[in-house]
């Protein structure tokens, strides 16, 4: 029997703009309605994976990664394969993407061969530039500014655990960088409540904060920033942390360990969250640094659910961005 191609256009209200020919560089690239549609499709894909075998047959994906990865690398490759597509992994950990030739030339090459590009980079601008020049969808798989696929998987996980995301209160502890930024934008879009507790000097980027607050004003989400982890944790439904030293910051590890120590998610902090609270982490985790072994390995930990959902959410993203068969063919005049 041939594979069934799911009619995702039938999901909910028609989308204002089709997903096709779109990039996913920031959580802001998807409207709140589109994120909800993404989650509906994710739920269907997760429950009926066989319906989607062959949905991206003939489609090809290239991944350029300047940094290490377990989850993002494998979930994109396994996800693409399970949809019937093909992926190619380009290890860029030894030389940054633009060192051998200009990004625009890479863009104008790969758009002739494959259907989408997934990028993990140091500089966010590398992903922005790739999207400016390539006529195929470009997906952010982590930059210094954002990690949208992670945040979508995390809020999908919370929806599975708690249902209505507008009733969910998350508290985040640690560095106000990439993962925190995408969580903040996703919470704002989905109407959730998020308090970020970060040390002085490590608060989220002011432009991302302003953007998240502007979205929150339209959805009823509540966003707060504090330096006090005890104020943030009180009554939270989900407590989330990330590494204290992100990839590329290894030289600062000792200094950061001292600065971030009061933000460790441990049993004492967890005891102030709601009794039903879940523990979340994007992984990889450093036990006894940002989280104690007792918390991450306890029954409240949903870290492997988050990791599993990376694949289901990314399959939905790939289907939405690539599924129509429509492609922006390059025209020589727009090779700017
Ligand atoms: N959470 C996450 O992106 O994991 P990897 O760095 O292993 O891809
Ligand atoms: N903040 C971390 C996230 C890893 C998934 C980093 O950038 O290394």
DSSP secondary structure letters along 282-319: -S---BTTTB-HHHHTSTTB-HHHHHHHHHHHHHHHHH
Distance 130 CA to ligand 2 centre (A): 21
**CATH number of 149-307: 1.10.3720.10, 3.40.50.150, 3.40.50.720, 3.40.50.1370?**
3.40.50.1370
Interhelix angle for 32-47 vs 178-190, to 10°? Answer: 100
Cβ atoms < 10 Å from Cβ of 20: 15
Spans of the chain, pLDDT less than 50? 1-17, 325-336
* Ligand 2, pocket-test mutation among 154, 282, 289, most atoms within 8 A of CB: 282
Q: What is the pLDDT of residues 253-273, one digit of tens each?
A: 999 999 999 999 999 999 999
Q: What is the pLDDT of residues 25-47, one digit of tens each?
A: 999 999 999 999 999 999 999 99
DSSP 276: T
278 strand-pairing partners: 238
Judge if the upstream peptide bond of residue 284 is cis by omega within 30 degrees of 0: yes
Written as six digits, the tokens of 240 are 């989330």
Q: What per-residue confidence (pLDDT) applies to 324?
A: 57
Q: What per-residue confidence (pLDDT) applies to 21?
A: 58
Q: Which residue is it, tokens 């969910």?
A: 168
Q: What per-residue confidence (pLDDT) applies to 323?
A: 79
Q: What per-residue confidence (pLDDT) applies to 63?
A: 98
User: Is 230:266 a contact under the CB 8 Å cutoff?
Assistant: no
Distance 333 CA to ligand 1 centre (A): 38
Q: Which residue is it, tokens 């799911």?
A: 6
Domain positions in the chain: 8-146+309-322, 149-307
CA 179: distance to chain centroid?
7
Q: What per-residue confidence (pLDDT) applies to 160?
A: 98
Instruction: Read off the pTM.
Output: 0.92
Q: What per-residue confidence (pLDDT) applies to 19?
A: 54
Fold match between domain 8-146+309-322 and domain 149-307: yes
Written as six digits, the tokens of 58 are 């003939």
Distance 282 CA to ligand 1 centre (A): 7
Query: Does domain 8-146+309-322 match CATH 3.40.50.1370?
Result: yes
User: Is 291:285 a contact under the CB 8 Å cutoff?
Assistant: yes
Q: Which residues line ligand 2 (CB under 6 A)?
A: 142, 177-179, 242-243, 246-247, 282
Written as six digits, the tokens of 232 are 């943030």
């Amino acid at each position: 029997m041939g594979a069934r191609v799911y009619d995702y256009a039938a999901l909910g209200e028609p989308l204002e703009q089709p997903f096709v020919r779109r990039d996913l560089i920031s959580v802001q690239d998807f409207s709140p309605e589109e994120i909800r549609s993404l989650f509906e499709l994710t739920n269907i894909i997760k429950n009926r994976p066989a319906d989607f075998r062959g949905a991206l047959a003939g489609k090809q994906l290239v991944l350029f990664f300047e940094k290490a990865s377990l989850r993002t690398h494998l979930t994109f490759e396994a996800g693409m394969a399970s949809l019937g597509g093909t992926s190619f992994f380009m290890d860029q950990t030894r030389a940054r993407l633009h060192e051998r030739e200009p990004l625009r030339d890479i863009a104008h090459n790969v758009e002739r061969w494959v259907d989408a590009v997934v990028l993990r980079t140091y500089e966010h601008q590398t992903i922005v530039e790739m999207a400016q020049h390539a006529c195929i969808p470009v997906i952010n798989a982590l930059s210094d500014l954002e990690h949208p696929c992670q945040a979508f998987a995390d809020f999908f996980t919370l929806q599975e655990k708690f249902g209505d995301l507008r009733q969910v209160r998350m508290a985040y502890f640690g560095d106000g960088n990439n993962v925190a930024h995408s969580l903040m934008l996703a919470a704002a879009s989905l109407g959730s409540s998020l308090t970020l507790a970060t040390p002085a000097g490590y608060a989220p980027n002011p432009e991302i904060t302003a953007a998240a607050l502007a979205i929150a004003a339209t959805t009823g989400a509540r966003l707060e920033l504090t330096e006090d982890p005890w104020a943030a944790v009180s009554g939270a439904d989900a407590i989330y942390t990330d590494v204290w030293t992100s990839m590329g910051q290894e030289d600062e590890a000792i200094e950061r360990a001292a600065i971030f120590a009061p933000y460790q998610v441990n049993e004492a902090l967890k005891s102030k969250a709601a009794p039903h609270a879940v523990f979340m982490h994007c992984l990889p985790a450093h036990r006894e640094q940002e989280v104690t072994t007792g918390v991450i390995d306890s029954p409240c930990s949903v870290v492997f659910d988050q990791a599993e959902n990376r694949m289901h959410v990314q399959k939905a993203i790939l289907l939405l961005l690539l599924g129509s068969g429509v492609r922006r063919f390059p025209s020589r005049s727009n090779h700017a």
